[in-house]
Amino acid sequence: MNILEIKDVFKQYGKFTVLNHISLSVPEGSIYGLLGPNGAGKTSLIRIITQITAPDSGEIIFKGEKLSPRHSGMIGYLPEERGLYKKMKVGEQLLYLSRLKGMSKQEAETKLEKWITKFGIEDWIKKNIEDLSKGMQQKVQFIATVMHEPPLIILDEPFTGFDPINVNLLRKEILELKKKGTTIIFSTHRMESVEDLCDYMSLIYKAEIILEGSKKEIKADAKTNIYLVEGNGALGNLPEGYTIDHFENEEEGEFKAEIKINGGSASELIRYLTEKIVIHSFKEKVPSMNEIFIHTIQNHHK
């Protein structure tokens, strides 16, 4: 089941098209990567989903219903440009924002205590936002985004400004939210951020979707049929259906090779190699998501 369906959404500002008939579906309980370079149209689409702006045409379906203002409390949004009240104390601000999302005072206080303990911010609770570092402010805004436990959370560049320790902390919380059934849209231009997080993804480039699918499908479509082999011995001439794309000799008969399968199979290649050499390593050469996206964008230019 899809929690969100974007159907043929079109948006212009003046004569500039920011979304050119975008359609995509976000499966419930998944982490969905909304990916692309800066200026591709990601934030424009998020602003439509969160009803900050409206599309010129097309529609948004949320939980089987046409998106309407009553759904606002069911969507948590962490914008790239953080928007906290700088003169307000951390605890007061989190309680205030939670009440705006429909939580009772008692429920908000209980959830606040849980999150400040989890994020280790007990000492900040009575400080003004302006007295916190950028990273601390981001933690506070993340808590404000998720505290009311909406079924859909949208995170726009959530790791910006975080050190590696806090990136890992936030990643852990994102995966924990998914485990509890929350759907998360993860928007970023940093492709390496999605490798171990996203289940599904769309690549937006110049207002259009140029790649979409599950991570598994996208990886499968990008298979090279090239295998990285490290071993000791003489490879000799490979049988028909296999070619050596790259070969490096090292000391005492050690070598590294890239072997492309043109018609055979990986199991047949292993059988052949075990008769010829001592195999130290045998693995498929699989492009990273970053390499896949760069290749897709480059091909789109042609």
| Percent of the residues in the chain that have a pLDDT greater than 70, as a whole number | 99
pLDDT in the model for residue 87: 84
Cβ atoms of 247 and 184 closer than 8 Å? no
Q: Token pair 């098209």 is at which residue?
A: 17
- Whole-prediction pTM: 0.85
Residue 301 has pLDDT above 70, yes or no: no
Please compute the mean of the pLDDT values over residues 169-184 and round it to a whole number: 93
Q: Token pair 């050596």 is at which residue?
A: 244
Residue 302 has pLDDT above 70, yes or no: no
Task: Read off the tokens for 216.
Answer: 């598994």
Confidence of residue 7 (pLDDT cuts 50, 70, 90): very high
Segments making up each domain of the chain, as ranges:
2-214, 224-285
Residue 290 has pLDDT above 90, yes or no: no
Confidence of residue 46 (pLDDT cuts 50, 70, 90): very high
In this structure, how many other beta carbons lie within 10 angstroms of the beta carbon of residue 105? 10
pLDDT in the model for residue 140: 87
| Percent of the residues in the chain that have a pLDDT greater than 90, as a whole number | 49
The identity of residue 268, as a single letter, is E
**Higher pLDDT among residues 38 and 231, named by residue:** 231
pLDDT in the model for residue 64: 94
Round the average pLDDT of the chain to a whole number and report it. Answer: 89
pLDDT in the model for residue 180: 93
Please compute the mean of the pLDDT values over residues 236-261 and round it to a whole number: 88
pLDDT in the model for residue 261: 93
Residue 259 has pLDDT above 90, yes or no: yes
Task: Read off the tokens for 204.
Answer: 């937006």
Q: Provide the CATH number for the domain formed by 2-214 in this structure.
A: 3.40.50.300
How far is residue 126 from each of residues 92, 116, 122, 134, 214, measured CA to CA in Å?
A: 8, 12, 9, 17, 44
Residue pLDDT, tens place only, 92-143: 889 988 888 888 889 988 998 888 888 888 888 888 888 888 778 888 889 9
DSSP state of 128: B
Residue pLDDT, tens place only, 184-237: 999 988 777 777 889 999 999 999 999 999 999 998 888 889 999 999 998 888
Please compute the mean of the pLDDT values over residues 50-54 and round it to a whole number: 94
Confidence of residue 250 (pLDDT cuts 50, 70, 90): confident
Cα separation of the two ends of the chain:
36
